[in-house]
Amino acid sequence: MAEIIQDLTLLLLVSLPINLLFHKIKWPSIMGYLVAGVLIGPHALGLISDPESVEHLAEIGVILLMFLIGLDFSLSHILKNVGQIFSAGTLQLGLTTLVVALISSAFGTSLQTGLIFGILVGLSSTAIVLKMITDRAEIDTAHGRVGIGVLLFQDICVLPLMLMVPLLGSAVPLSGLDLTWALVKSALAVGGVFLASRLLVPKLLHGVARFGNKEHLTLFVILLILGTAWVAHHLGLTLAMGAFIAGMILSESDYQHQISLDILPVKDYFSSIFFISVGMLLNVQIFWQSAGIYLGITAGMILLKGSLAGIAMLIARYPLRVALLAGVYLAQAGEFSLVLAGLSVQTGVLTGNQYQDFLIVALLSMLAAPPLLQWANPLLRQWVGTPEHIPTPSLSEMEKLTNHVIIAGYGMIGQHLARVLNEIRIPLLVVERDGEKLKNAMMHQAPVLYGDSSHRDTLQQAKIEEARMLVVSLPDLKTMEQVVRLARLLNPKIYILVRTTSDAHVEPLTQAGASLVIPEEFETSIEIFTRVLREFRIPNNVIEQQVELVRMEGYSMFRGLSLNAESLNKFSTYLTASLTESVALSAGDWATGKNIRDLNLREQTGARLIAVVRSGEVHANPEATFELKTGDLLVLFGRHAMLDKAVTRVHQGSSGPSGQPTCN
């Protein structure tokens, strides 16, 4: 145990400064983990005394990594958009696999080994590509969207590919029947995911969440991960594939966001161990013995894969510039290539030497990706030419944006708000800089702009001057203050709503220029306060006025601060004032079919019927013989108690809790 703790300490001690360096130069952290693994591995500095113990932790890291990837998937969303990502992804992966398999066969490898090399080369790194696309603010470009679409297709293909690897490693030659059975097993797994996500798991999750607490929900999730992995293992699948299926099941539940928050810290730690352990497996001595050959193979692989990806985009009828840029982005190997390569060694498809050769080439291609993108992108722009900035629908929509809502931060609040605004056709734009949140926004089909909302250029690009509202939901108080101040400066008339987690943030954000700051705990108090008043049948318009008063006072009632005399007078006036209430008649109401005289509202309740709205036409002070019909809107006038009795009489034929029914 002491050796394992020592190894983990050294692992973090070396990887932390390397990752800080990579963060400084804006390279993906996954590359820092790989470099750290190479340095501390047994083939370099040899700081890790027991690499086998780290490999066991890496296996746990793979399981959690696959679970989180599955959790980010929405099976129903994928099925809806399968046509958009199927053509380009199929052409890219299929063409690369075929060509690499033919080249491998020409060098004397078997068909199974050639297919594995083709699959490994065909996959690209989601982490690296998404990081580079977002950092270069190209997520809303044509080549950025097609690149992300192909990566999404590759992630989907991991399920059948992991099913096929054991078949390729069998001693019996692979037949069409074996391949068909692998695809059938994949389809059955997807069908099982769909049924479980719709029928069984939501009920179990709801029961655990209802009768237990947060710890019980986390325990149930861990049970589901391990249980699904164990079942998958006994069905002939891998443990990682079982965890991937568990993630896909939970991605369809209402608790997906909470589960992500609970598992994410553990996942990040173990997945970092996985990538470090992969770097430890790289034999630096073998690389130095044939460095020129490995560098040449890496350059050839990047050139071949990028060219094939570009050809696939051209066949899919993308413009030349988009095809070339997408080819550059997809030219490196991916993290799933490393996972499948390790599985191939375990199943006997690849030998140890072949695995080491591929590992060296894959890591070199991943390390070469950032500088390649930085250097090749401008060259391609000069060669092909820079077209005008129009052709994408999202850009044209941004040009038409006016009177819209800007959502700064695509967390849970931003996701729910964006979905509601989309449903009721209110124009919106999400501003986000986090890569994973950007990917979620694109999967949810929310219009998204990459950028930092605390920067002037980003807000101007989001057309802050023409926006009607800005909703800020960010984790950091200082950043939120900067966003609010800048937005107020650029558009003095905009309504700025800020969601925060602490009441201590209300004053500084209000002083910065926020129109309304909503602390989460106080909104819960208002909800309780509102429901109590509704239980006593206080009219809705009165409740809304009282809630508005609390918010206008900056939640001072809930913060323990005294309301001033003027506010108390307002509150008392709201409670005692003569008000109006609108009541819509339905077929089952007591007043439906009766005339005004039959209602006898003035004598029974004290309230007055001042108007009836029917089919958009207002009948003011209707006569006593006016007959009421289904769909009529009755406008009542009176004090709280009067209106309460009048509403009860209209619906039930009584004048309130103390009144007697009068059926005239």
pLDDT single digits (tens) 445-496:
778 887 778 888 788 888 899 999 999 988 778 788 889 999 999 999 999 9
Q: Does the residue 347 lie in any domain?
A: yes
- Bridge pairing between strands 469-472 and 448-450: unpaired
Residue 211 has a pLDDT of 74
Q: Does the residue 503 lie in any domain?
A: yes
CATH code for the domain in which residue 376 is found: 1.20.1530.20
Residue 655 has pLDDT above 80, yes or no: no
CATH code for the domain in which residue 618 is found: 3.30.70.1450
Q: Residues of the chain with pLDDT > 90: what percent?
A: 10
Q: Does the residue 660 lie in any domain?
A: no
Mean pLDDT to the nearest integer, 14-32: 76
pLDDT band at 562 (very low <50, low <70, confident <90, very high): very low
Domain closes at, from 574, 595, 618: 574
State pTM to two decimals: 0.52
Between 265 and 512, residue with greater pLDDT: 512
Q: Does the residue 657 lie in any domain?
A: no
Residue 285 has pLDDT above 70, yes or no: yes
Between 7 and 322, residue with greater pLDDT: 322
Q: What CA–CA distance (Å, rounded) separates 156 from 149?
A: 11
**Kind and range of the H or E run holding 497:** strand 495-500
Residue 208 has pLDDT above 90, yes or no: no
Q: Does the residue 663 lie in any domain?
A: no
Q: What CA–CA distance (Å, rounded) separates 319 from 38?
A: 40
Q: What CA–CA distance (Å, rounded) separates 500 from 502?
A: 6
Least confident of 27-31, 38-42, 72-76, 554-558: 554-558
Between 245 and 330, residue with greater pLDDT: 330
pLDDT band at 140 (very low <50, low <70, confident <90, very high): low
Best mean pLDDT range from 30-34, 64-68, 652-656 = 30-34
pLDDT band at 536 (very low <50, low <70, confident <90, very high): low
Residue 659 has pLDDT above 50, yes or no: no
One domain, residues 249 and 326: yes
Mean pLDDT to the nearest integer, 431-440: 72
Closest CA to 359 of 434, 271, 294: 294
Tally of domains within the chain: 4
One domain, residues 499 and 561: no
Estimate to the nearest angstrom the gap between the alpha carbon of 630 and the chain centroid. 45
One domain, residues 261 and 117: yes
Domain closes at, from 574, 602, 617: 574
Domain with 441, as residue range(s), is: 393-514
Mean pLDDT to the nearest integer, 279-295: 85
Contact assessment for residue 305 and residue 125, using Cβ atoms and an 8 Å cutoff? no
**Helix/strand/coil (H/E/C) assignment for every residue in 531-598:** HHHHHCCCCHHHHHHHHHHHHHCCCCCCCCCCCCHHHHHHHHHHHHCCEEEEEECCCCCCCCCCEHHH
One domain, residues 370 and 403: no
Least confident of 82-96, 256-270, 397-411, 497-511: 256-270
Least confident of 32-36, 80-84, 262-266, 571-575: 571-575
Least confident of 332-341, 368-377, 501-510: 368-377
Strand partners, 495: 469
Residue 295 has a pLDDT of 93
CATH code for the domain in which residue 457 is found: 3.40.50.720
Residue 577 has pLDDT above 70, yes or no: no
Residue 121 has a pLDDT of 92
Q: Does the residue 505 lie in any domain?
A: yes
Residue 305 has pLDDT above 80, yes or no: yes
pLDDT band at 328 (very low <50, low <70, confident <90, very high): confident
Summary mean pLDDT of the chain: 76
Q: What CA–CA distance (Å, rounded) separates 204 from 454?
A: 42
- Report long-range pairs for 616-625 (Cβ below 8 Å, ≥24 apart): 622/596, 623/596, 624/595, 624/596, 624/597, 625/595, 625/596, 625/597
Estimate to the nearest angstrom the gap between the alpha carbon of 541 and the chain centroid. 36
Residue 80 has pLDDT above 60, yes or no: no
One domain, residues 244 and 317: yes
122 burial type by CB count under 10 A (0-12 exposed, 13-18 middle, 19+ buried) = buried
Between 49 and 47, residue with greater pLDDT: 47
Residue 526 has a pLDDT of 72
Residue 132 has pLDDT above 50, yes or no: yes
Between 474 and 439, residue with greater pLDDT: 474
One domain, residues 562 and 601: no
Domain closes at, from 462, 485, 514: 514
- What is the per-residue pLDDT across 170-202, written as a single tens digit (0 to 9) for each? 554 555 666 677 667 666 765 665 576 567 777
One domain, residues 274 and 248: yes
Residue 261 has a pLDDT of 61
Q: Does the residue 659 lie in any domain?
A: no
pLDDT band at 392 (very low <50, low <70, confident <90, very high): very low
- Bridge pairing between strands 495-500 and 516-519: parallel
Q: Does the residue 222 lie in any domain?
A: yes
One domain, residues 542 and 506: no
Closest CA to 617 of 632, 627, 599: 632
pLDDT band at 304 (very low <50, low <70, confident <90, very high): very high
Residue 55 has pLDDT above 50, yes or no: yes
Best mean pLDDT range from 1-15, 94-108, 250-264, 641-655 = 94-108
One domain, residues 468 and 335: no
Q: What CA–CA distance (Å, rounded) separates 475 from 62?
A: 29
User: Which residue, chain included where needed, has tokens 């590919």?
Assistant: 161
One domain, residues 315 and 367: yes
Residue 56 has a pLDDT of 67
- What is the per-residue pLDDT across 585-622, written as a single tens digit (0 to 9) for each? 888 889 999 999 888 888 888 888 888 988 878 888 88
Residue 190 has a pLDDT of 58
Give the C-alpha distances (Å, rounded to integers) separating 551 from 133, 462, 473, 545.
41, 28, 18, 10
One domain, residues 302 and 369: yes
Mean pLDDT to the nearest integer, 497-526: 81
Cα-Cα-Cα-Cα dihedral sign, residues 452, 456, 457, 462:
positive
CB environment 23-38: b (16+ within 10 A), e (fewer) = eeeebbbbbbbbbbbb
One domain, residues 328 and 292: yes
Residue 579 has a pLDDT of 67
